[in-house]
Each structure stands twice: as C-alpha cells, then as structure tokens.
Structure 1
C-alpha cells in the first residue's frame, strides 16, 4: 500500500526541522519527503493547515488499567495499591484484560501514540488487542516473586508462556519484553534469571526503579545498597533495559545508568498524582542518560495522552527548578519520540526517508493552535490528544479523520462499562 500526505508542515529528521512538504509512504516505510511530490498513491491525505509529526512512543504504561480509571484517587501509593488496586486486580480475568487493553489502545491511537511498552498480567489478551488494533506493542508479564521460590517458578512459567505466544503470533509489530516488576518485589535469583534469559534470547527488559523513597529505603536496609547499585552488582543493567520512574536517584546511580546505557522513562503525571516526587531531570540530561516518556497506567494518570504528558514534563521541571529554560519544548518532544525509539531499538521516532512509517497528522486548524508560529512549542504547550486527526502505524492507516478504522470503538466502550459495572 502507498500513502501520499500532501501540503503539510512536516517535522523532519532528528533536528526537528519544520518544512512545508509532502510525505510519501510505500509499504511500511517513508519513501520520500519533499515539496510538490507528483506520485500516484493508493491513498492521498490533504494535510493543509496540519502538522505531520512522528508518532509518539509511550515507553511505560499498563494499558488494561483503564478498567481502574477513577477507582481510587487522591490516596498515598501503598494505600491506593493495597486497599483498592490489588483487590480489584484479583478479580480480573483474561477476557477483562483483553477489553481493557483494547480500550486503552483506542485511547492511545486517538491521541497519536504509535508504539507502547506495557507490563501487566494475562498479557496474551493485550497482544491480541494490539494485533487487531494495528498498534506497535512491546509487551511484558509483570514478574513478582517476593523471594518465594514456588512463586518465582510460577512467574518464570508465565513469562515463558507469553514469550512463546508472541513468537507464534509472528507479528512485525508485537515484541516481547522481560518484565521483572521492581528490585523490591523481585529476588536476586529472579533478576539474575531475567538477565541470563534476556542475553540468551536477545530480548529487552523493562522494570520499575526508584519510584518512591520507601522502596529505596527498603532496598538499602535489605542489601546495603541503593536499587541501581544493587542491580548493577547483579550485572543486570545494560543498554537493553528500560527503567520506569527513576525519581529518587543519587548522583552515583545516575552515573551508573549513564555508563550502562540504561533508558529512564519519565512518568510525570503519575509521579505527581501519587506524590512520589520529582525525577532529577536536569542531572540525568547532563549525564547523557536517554530519557523517554510514559503515561503509566490510567489508574494513576488518569489518561494515556502523550501530548498532555509532554506539557506536564516541561512545566513540572521549570517550576521545580525555578528555571524556565529547563525541559524546553524540543527536548521534551524528543523524549516522546526519538528517545523512546532509541530505547526500543526501533527505526522510528523521526520523519525521514527509510524510517518506519509511524506518523500522525495533527490538525492545527483550531483556535488554540493558531497563529502557526512555533510548531514544536504549539504541540507541547497548546495541543492535546484530541487534536490528532490521523494515525499511521507501520504504513497502515489505523485512524482517519478521528475515526479508528481497525476496531469497533463503540463496542469496546460498551463492553468495558459492563465489565466494570459487574466487578464493582
């Protein structure tokens, strides 16, 4: 299939140069970018007054948690988890996970996300939903053993089952990740097993680290080291690790992360809502750590809108550091695109010839996005996910003029409502 997007403002290349141009897609890749392209195509999209942007990469979320959206707000993390989230999650069945993931994926597609990293359970349902919807997904089973050997063996079995399922699915868009939950919920034995299997299978790893003061204290008391030092001593940290949060990091830990090439995924909305703290963004940037962006789950955000997340990153760090130049629009935009692609070793995140065609069209024909002056600034500070009009993933149009083409949105909305009404 071929697609020609004409007359748009194109955010071109790694330098984010904004040019007036057309974009021609052939198969699943960007073939040409240039002015007045006179090429026949199966689909022609007029992007006059619109912006052609790389798709956004949600590098950390829990998509089925849309089922828990609004379940328990304005609570401390552990009370939120122990009294509300975990009891509800114990009721969730594979069918529930499938429909929750499908609704979350619809939300992501409609707000311009073209790829996401997910960690949860019953992940075969998430894989199925991702494949049907046409989104690019990196899926992990969240492993928790709490030092219990029997539990560890069960978690390993579930992980290998997901790996086999995804390999049999044989999709170019669905990838497997190992997903040990966090150092405070996973034993050294489980973490070592993950590292060995990741090396052996050439699969990547996602994990939570240093989200709260309490978990850092817990690891220090148990192992005499900070979480990053503990993981480093195990030989766990390599450039294939994508670590979510990284709120309470010491200078020494930042140094280790930079040296090992670990990506840190910033989740500002979740960190603020749960009162977890503020990630040391300035220090991480100065150290050269790759920083991607994620929404976390819809129970702690409460949406999956990556455009909104960009604005929150920028404003949070400006006011926290009393520095209006920190977390500038271009830096934050790269976190949501190029840096996420780097973390996934994905040939996307920038619009250029030869790259994968993961592209969104944002409608700037709206009062809050005019006059058109600084496009990157407008996306970060003025736009929101509802301004995304068209989403193209792997060269396929999955949303056109605001309508998702691959799945029945109304059916998903109704089904999820019925599920939640029955569970509560």
Structure 2
C-alpha cells in the first residue's frame, strides 16, 4: 500500500519528481519520495546536481507536497561526495526527514574505504554525520559484527533487497545477525527484477535458511513482518498494523488459496503470488479491485511504448 521510491531523475529540475508524486496520488498508493542527491563526475547529467541546487529543489518538493514524505537520499559513498553526504545529513536534521543511502552493497566498497580512510563504509557514514536514527541503509550486505553494533547504537535501519541481491550477485545480507544485534530491518525491491513484496518475503526467508543451513533460521512470520509492520517502522511511517489510530492500509487476499491445515502466514510467504490480491485499501479507500485501474493500465501502456522506442 506504500512504496519508497529512490528517485534519480533530478538533474534538470523537479518536473520528473512531481510527475511521480502525481502518479502516486492518481493511483492511490502511499509514497515516500527519497529524492536522490548525486554529484559524482561519472553520473549522467540527468542525475547530477550541485549541493545547493539539490537542497533547494528538495526543500521545494517538501513544501509543495507534504503528504509525499519527501526525504533526502545521497546515493552512495561512490556517487555522492563527502561534502554532499554531510550536507544531506544536515538537511535531514534541519528539515526533520529521513536519509536514504546505498551502502556496503559490494566488497569493493569496503576495500576502497579501508584503503583510503581506514574505515568501513558504515564507519565512514558515521564520520560524515550520516549514521543516525534518521538513516535508512539500502543493502548493508558487507558489514561485520562491529558494524552491526554501530548500526544498533546509532539507531540506523536497514532495507534488505534479497531478489535484487541475487540478480546482481551481490551476496546474502545476514539479516538474522542484524536483528539479533537490534537493528531494524525492512524489505525493498531496489532494481526492477519483479517489484513484488511477496517475492521479497519468500527470498528473505529462504536465503537465510541457506546461509545458516537451518530451516528455522528465519520464519515466514518474521519475513512477513519485514514486509509489513517492521518495514513501515524502518521507513518511519505509520502502517503495517491494524490497530486503533493506525491508517487503514491493507490488502484482501483470495482465501481459497490458503489451506485450512496450514498457517496462513506460511502460505502467503512461501506460495503467495500477486494474483492472490483481490483488493487494496489505502487509508480506508479502495484503490484496487480485481484488475488494474484505468490509470494503471494507461501508465503501463505508455511505459511499454517508451521502452519499445528506446529498444529500436
């Protein structure tokens, strides 16, 4: 019912970001717009900005679209300069918003930061002022025990992307160890392998069983929580729980797909498919039933048309 979009196309201004915000409003989905900041020389012009420009444009979006949860997202230690990351952390504190950043996704990151700064990527984020309870770290695969303790002390959150991590050959994030250390974990999709939270739940559970050679390493219930209540908590938004005072955000699944003799959460995590979703409600309003809305179908058709033109 809610997505966090790590949005890149900011180099020419806010037009693309505003289009994404409007699209979310039209379809009824909840949106957290993690507005990317990038200033690396290798970044394409449509991604790259000066620090002052990125800050001003992000501020404009926050003021114009308060319901979009616009937050700051210095891309990574290799795509955003140290000055930009420091500025982003100061911006997040000043504007009371979250900070999203890709970190420790591949071994080379740690090799580079240790060789140059005698720091792990996590330690370097801390030194730059970008590791706090506002920090949402994407990937965090290559972290050691000391890093995990540091993450827990600082209150940083980790978003685990098991499908993309497999697709890119990144590695397996040890979410069991992160949770034991007290780090809050949520699920994300990262790349467009197949943006399904059900697939991410399944992959999260199965990969930990393989990593630990233990079928009980991560249960279906724990993986389900990563994609619902804990995911919302990791993003610092209300949701993931049907209790008094929480937003009425929920989906209706086809109960005929769930066997009476099997725990429902096991069926959803290990066998669930997008086709099981019969309806979606956001803040009590039905935004999907049976099949995609006219707006969603039109958006898909337009996107496919653009993709075909680009592939010619």
Deviation at 1:287, TM superposition (A): 0.1
Offset, 1:415: 1.1
1:260 aligned onto 2:167: no
- Higher Rg of the two aligned structures: 1
What TM-score does the superposition give when structure 1 sets the normalisation length? 0.68
Q: Does 1:421 align with 2:308?
A: yes
Which residue in 1 is equivalent to 2:291? 403
Residues 408 and 152 of structure 1: CA distance in aligned 2, closer, same or farther (over 3 Å)? closer
Distance 2:52 2:145 in 1: 33
- Note the C-alpha offset of 1:155: 4.9
Aligned partner of 2:59 among 145, 154, 163: 163
Q: What is the match of residue 269 of structure 2? A: 380
Instruction: Tell me the equivalent position of 2:259.
Output: 370
Instruction: Name the residue aligned to 1:337.
Output: 228
- Higher normalized helix content (fraction of residues): 2
Q: Which residue of 2 aligns with 1:393?
A: 282
Q: 1:281 — aligned with what?
A: 175
Counterparts of 1:315 and 1:269 in 2: how far apart (Å)? 11
Structure 2 unaligned regions, length at least 5 = 10-15
Q: For residue 12 of structure 2, what is the aligned residue in structure 1? A: none
Structure 1, unpaired ranges of 5+:
1-113
Corresponding residue for residue 71 of structure 2? 177
Q: Is the 8 A contact 2:159 2:185 kept in 1?
A: yes
Moved over 4 A (4+): 150-153
Distance 1:232 1:116 in 2: 27
Q: Distance in 2 between matches of 1:342 and 1:254?
A: 18
Which residue number in structure 2 is paired with residue 241 of structure 1?
135
**8 Å CA contact retained: 2:37, 2:49:** no
Deviation readout 1:256-280 (Å, 9 max, x if unpaired): 1010111101000111111111112
> 1:218: Cα distance to partner?
1.8
The higher-RCO structure (CA 8 Å, 6+ apart) is: 1
The verdict on how the C-alpha distance between 1:377 and 1:275 changes in structure 2, with shifts beyond 3 A counting, is: same
Cα RMSD, aligned residues only: 2.0
Matches within 5 A, 1:68-79: none
Which whole-Å CA distance do the structure 1 matches of 2:286 and 2:102 have between them? 33
Quote the residue 1:217 is aligned against: 111
Distance 2:239 2:85 in 1: 30
Number of residue-to-residue matches in the alignment: 301
Contact 2:224 2:265 in 1 (8 A): yes
Q: Decide whether the 8 Å contact of 1:127 with 1:166 is kept in 2.
A: no
- Return the offset for 1:343: 1.8
TM-superposition CA deviations, 1:131-181 (whole Å, max 9, x none): 111111111222222379x997625414532431342134x3x11010100
Matches within 5 A, 1:102-117: 114-117=1-4
Q: Which whole-Å CA distance do the structure 2 matches of 1:410 and 1:206 have between them? A: 30
User: Partners of 1:419 and 1:159 in 2: how far apart?
Assistant: 30
SS of residue matched to 1:403: coil
- More strand by percentage: 1
**CA deviation vs aligned residue, 1:380-414 (integer Å, no higher than 9, x gap):** 112112111110012211012x2344x42332232
Q: CA deviation at 1:227?
A: 0.5
Cα deviations by residue, 1:188-212 (Å, 9 ceiling, x for unpaired): 2111101111111101111101000
Map 1:31-42 to 2 at 5 A: none
